[in-house]
Structure formats: C-alpha cells, structure tokens
C-alpha cells in the first residue's frame, strides 16, 4: 500500500466549518492529514471535526476569529501544543457584502478587508513563525478568487482584498523559500456554497433582474460551459498544491473557474 499523500501533515484550515474549507478538510483527512477546523462558528466547527474523525486524533475544532490578533496567536499555539506544529495553512475564511461603491458603508469596507486581508496576515504570521522554527518547511494556500484577477460591479472590497492576497502570497513565497515554505493562491469561479447562495437574491435586487438571470447572466456568463465550479474542484487543487514537492511551484495563483478567466 502506498503512503497517503499528506500522511500526518498538520493542516490549519480557516473557515472550514462550511463550504470550500469543509470540503478541503474532508479530502485532506482522506489523504492522511490531521486537520484543524478553525472557524468563528464553534458549533459548526465541532460538528465538522466530529464528522471527520470522532476520535479527535485527526480533526480538531478551534474557535478562531481570524481578525483577532490574540485569538489567532492563542489558537495556533494550541494547535502546536495539541498536534505538534503546523505544516499547511489554508487561509480560507471569508464573507461577502455586495453593494455599489457610491453608497458602500465604510464599516462594511473595513469588515471585508479585516476578514480577507488582516485574517490572511495574522494566520500567516503565526504559522510562519512555527514553520521556520520547526525546520520542516511548509505550505500556505490563500483562497483567492477569479476576483483576484478580474473585477465585477458591486464587489469593490472583495476584489481589492482578493487582489491583495496575490501580493501577500508572492512576498511569502520570497521570504519563505529559504525555510522551505511555499505559498500559492487558488482562484475559484463561483461555487454553490452559503456565501454564494446569499448573494443571488442580493444581486437580483441590486441589479433589478431575476435570480435565474443572476446565475446565467452574471455568475456563469463567461464560463466555457455554463457550469458552477464545485467544492471538490477546489479541494483537489488544494491537495495538489499542498503535496507538490518543491519550490518550483510557489508564488503562483491558479484559476479554477470553468474558463471564466483565462490567464
Ligand atoms: P462559506 O460561507 O460557506 O464559508 C465561510 C466560512 O468562514 C464560514 O464557516 C464562516 O463561519 C467562516 N468565517 C467567516 N468569518 C470568519 C472569521 N472572521 N474568522 C473565522 N472564520 C470566519 O463560504 P465559501 O464559499 O466556502 O468561501 C470560502 C472562501 O472561498 C472565501 O474566502 C471566499 O471568498 C472564497 N471563494 C468563494 C467562492 C464561491 O463562489 N463560493 C469563489 C471564490 C472564492
């Protein structure tokens, strides 16, 4: 029998109680990893961890608000003490608040940037410190979006933050290289998760079109086949990136979007 690809690697996945992060956690456990379901929602994180491994040996729930410096530092320290370090960070927690720029609330702008960018920075810093000290390398994967490359109306802070992650990733790739730490961004197209389901009626209202039209004329209009990207498409990409063996693949962003955006 061959050894599973991620055997005993410790993966911290933020926002893993739902959607994309949850699917990545499931696939990582199936490939031998020990996963930390780090999420704002402890009830959902605990249910996910229990579902993945009732014994607690391969899945642990961690309540963590990625925008809270003290919570991130304490959370990653707890992972180090319970699981013996961190090999993979998936910075994935995210929300969406849509609206036109001319009336966009400053408080919503700050909230969006705090979760997507401050959260990525704080979790990166905490994990990098550990990865450098452990001297066994590591991998950081940021959940970007096609909006790391493209813009859409009503999504100014999301587009700004997702573009920002590409810059952060490139610096991590440069600074981390001598410690064997790689960093990459996954840029999915639209995936049917609670984050997207919430946007459909909101966009219909803001654009004055039906919900079906939001799907066909806004979300999937530029794909090659009119299909949503799936959580599994994204998880398989996260598995490939985490298991890649060298610095040849670092500082990159990989678009998984049914051809919506082509580099
Ligand atoms: P989701 O709503 O299903 O899951 C997001 C999770 O993040 C939730 O469990 C939520 O509790 C958690 N979370 C929110 N704020 C948090 C905080 N401050 N600290 C910790 N956890 C927090 O969403 P999803 O669609 O799975 O999105 C995951 C990531 O993928 C996001 O970064 C999103 O921008 C990105 N993304 C999603 C899509 C899509 O179409 N769904 C496309 C491209 C990129």
CATH number assigned to the domain comprising residue 169: 3.40.50.720
Whether 241 and 256 have beta carbons less than 8 Å apart is answered as no
Considering the domain architecture, whether residues 123 and 249 belong to the same structural domain is answered as yes
How many whole angstroms from 185 Cα to the centroid of ligand 1? 15
175 and 62 both lie in a single domain: yes
249, 153: one domain: yes
Pocket probe mutation, ligand 1, options 93, 122, 198, max atoms within 8 Å of Cβ: 93
In a domain, 261, yes or no: no
Per the domain annotation, does 1 fall within a domain?
no
Please say whether the beta carbons of 49 and 56 come within 8 A: yes
28, 104, 142, 158: the active-site residue: 158
Shared domain for 109 and 205, answered yes or no, is: no
**Residue 4 counted as domain residue:** no
Does 102 reside within a domain? yes
Query: How close is the Cα of 19 to the center of ligand 1, in Å?
Result: 7
Among candidates 249, 255, 125, 94, which has minimal Cα distance to 183? 249
Strands of 74-144 (E only): list them. Answer: 88-91, 138-143
Cα distance between residue 74 and residue 252, in whole Å: 30
Shared-domain flag, residues 215 and 240: no
Tens place of pLDDT for every residue, the chain, 263 residues? Answer: 577 899 999 999 999 999 999 999 999 999 999 999 999 999 999 999 999 999 999 999 999 999 999 999 999 999 999 999 999 999 999 999 999 999 999 999 999 999 999 999 999 999 999 999 999 999 999 999 999 999 999 999 999 999 999 999 999 999 999 999 999 999 999 999 999 999 899 989 988 999 999 999 999 999 999 999 999 999 999 999 999 999 999 999 999 999 999 98
Using a 6 Å CB cutoff, which residues line ligand 1? 14-15, 17-21, 39-41, 64-67, 92-95, 115, 143, 145, 188, 190-191, 193-196
Confidence at residue 197, expressed as pLDDT on a 0 to 100 scale? 94
- Distance CA(88)–CA(231), nearest Å, equals 19
Rounded distance, CA 196 to CA 146, Å? 14
pTM: 0.97
Nearest CA to ligand 1 atom 33: 94
Q: Same domain, yes or no, for 160 and 217?
A: no
| CA-CA-CA-CA dihedral for 256, 124, 165, 58, to nearest 10 | 20
Q: Is 28 a catalytic residue?
A: no
> Do 145 and 200 lie in a common domain?
no
The dihedral through the CA atoms of 64, 69, 75, 79 has a sign that is positive
**Residue 56 falls inside a structural domain:** yes
Under DSSP, is residue 39 helix (H, G, I), strand (E, B) or coil? strand
> What does the pLDDT read at residue 1?
59
Residue 17 CA, closest ligand 1 atom number: 9
Query: Domain residues for 208?
Result: 192-228
Q: Are residues 215 and 116 in the same domain?
A: no
Considering its fold, how many domains does the chain have in total? 2
40 and 152 both lie in a single domain: yes
């Amino acid at each position: 029998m061959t050894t599973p690809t991620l055997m005993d690697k410790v993966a911290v996945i933020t926002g893993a109680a739902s959607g994309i992060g949850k699917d990545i956690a499931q696939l990582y456990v199936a490939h031998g990893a020990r996963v930390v379901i780090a999420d704002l929602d402890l009830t959902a994180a605990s249910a996910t961890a229990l579902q993945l491994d009732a014994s607690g040996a391969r899945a642990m729930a961690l309540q963590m608000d990625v925008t809270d410096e003290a919570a991130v530092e304490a959370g990653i320290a707890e992972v180090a003490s319970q699981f013996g370090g961190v090999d993979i960070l998936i910075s994935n927690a995210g929300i969406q608040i849509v609206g036109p720029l001319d009336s966009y609330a400053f408080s919503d702008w700050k909230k969006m940037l705090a979760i997507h960018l401050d959260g990525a920075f704080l979790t990166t810093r905490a994990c990098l410190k550990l990865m450098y000290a452990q001297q066994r390398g590591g991998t950081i994967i940021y959940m970007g979006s096609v909006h790391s490359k493209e813009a859409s109306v009503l999504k100014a802070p999301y587009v700004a933050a997702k573009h920002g992650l590409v810059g952060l990733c490139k610096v991590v790739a440069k600074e981390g290289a001598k410690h064997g730490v790689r960093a990459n961004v996954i840029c999915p197209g639209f995936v049917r998760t609670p984050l997207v389901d919430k946007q459909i009626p909101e966009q219909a209202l803001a654009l004055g079109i039906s919900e079906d039209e939001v799907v066909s004329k806004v979300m999937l209009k530029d794909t090659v086949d009119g299909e949503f990207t799936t959580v599994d498409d994204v998880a398989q990409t996260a598995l490939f990136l985490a298991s890649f063996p060298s610095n040849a693949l670092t500082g990159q962003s990989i678009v998984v979007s049914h051809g919506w955006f082509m580099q």
